[in-house]
Structure 1
Amino acid sequence: MKKFLAVALLAALQGSWLFAAQEVTVKGELVDLVCYIDHAAQGEKHMKCGRTCINAGLPPGLKGEDGKLYMLVGEHKPLNKEAAKYADKKVTVKGKLVSAEGYRLIEDAEIIP
C-alpha cells in the first residue's frame, strides 16, 4: 500500500510547479514580451518601441539562442528599469530558472551586456 501511495503521489506531482529553481546562464536578445508575442517585434528596428514598452511597465523577456522564450524578473520585483537599456540587443542573463504550465521565468535575473 505504501508503494502504491508513493507512486500515486509522484504521478500527481508530475507536470506541477513543484520544481527546484535551477541556476542558468542564457544568451539571447532582450525583448519586450508583449510586442514579441503579439507580432514578433524584435531587432534594431524595434529598439525604440521596445524601450518605451518596457519603461511603461510591460514585461521584459529573453529570446534565447536556444530558441526558448523567458520572462525576466529581479529579486521579487520588476526588472524594467535596467532591462529597458538593453531592449532588442544581445545580452547574457544569469539567474534562477523556474517553469510552470509551459512558461519559463528567470528570477533574480542579472543582465550582462
Structure 2
Amino acid sequence: MKKATIIKTSVVTLALGAGLAVATFSFAANEKNEAATETIQGEVVDLMCYLDHGAMGPKHRGCATICIRSGGPVGLLSGDKLYLVVGDHKPINEELVSKAAETIRIKGKVVERNGMRMIENAEIVK
C-alpha cells in the first residue's frame, strides 16, 4: 500500500471515529436534559434568605412575603431538595407571594444542571 493511501485511510478513519464520538455524547447529553412534567410538594421559600441563613417556616413568612413581592427568586423546598420555581419563561412571584412559608404542590417541567434544580412552566396544583 502506498504511503499516501495509508495516510488518507487513517485520516478518514479518525474523522469518522471523532464524528461518531461527538454524535454519541450529543445524544447522551440530550437524553439527560429531557424532563417530564412532575408534581412536587414542598414549602414555598424565598431563596435569598433560605440560602443565606436557612430562613423558612411560619416565623419567616413576613420577610419571605416582602422578598418575593420585591422580585426575589422563589423556591420550593421538598425534603432535602431545593428547586428554583419559574413560570412560562418569567417569574411566578405574583402567584406564589400569598403562599410564602406554606406547603403546596407545584406541577411543571423539572430540570437539573450542575446541581441546580428548577421547576419551569410551574403551576400551583389546587
Common fold: TM-score over 0.5: yes
Between Structure 1 and Structure 2, the one with more helix by share is 2
Please say if 1:107 is aligned against 2:120.
yes
List runs of 5+ in structure 1 lacking aligned partners: none
Greater relative CO, 1 or 2 (CA 8 Å, sep 6+): 1
Q: How does 1:1-113 map to 2 (within 5 A)?
A: 1=13, 2=16, 5-11=19-25, 19-65=33-79, 67-112=80-125
Q: Percent identity among equivalent residues? A: 40
- Give 1 or 2 for the bigger CA radius of gyration: 2
Aligned length: 112
Query: TM-score, normalising length from structure 1?
Result: 0.85
Q: CA separation in 1, counterparts of 2:67 and 2:98? A: 12
- 1:32 and 1:59 in contact (8 A); partners too: yes
Question: How far is the alpha carbon of 1:22 from its aligned partner?
Answer: 1.8
Structure 2 unpaired stretches of 5+: 1-12
RMSD: 2.4
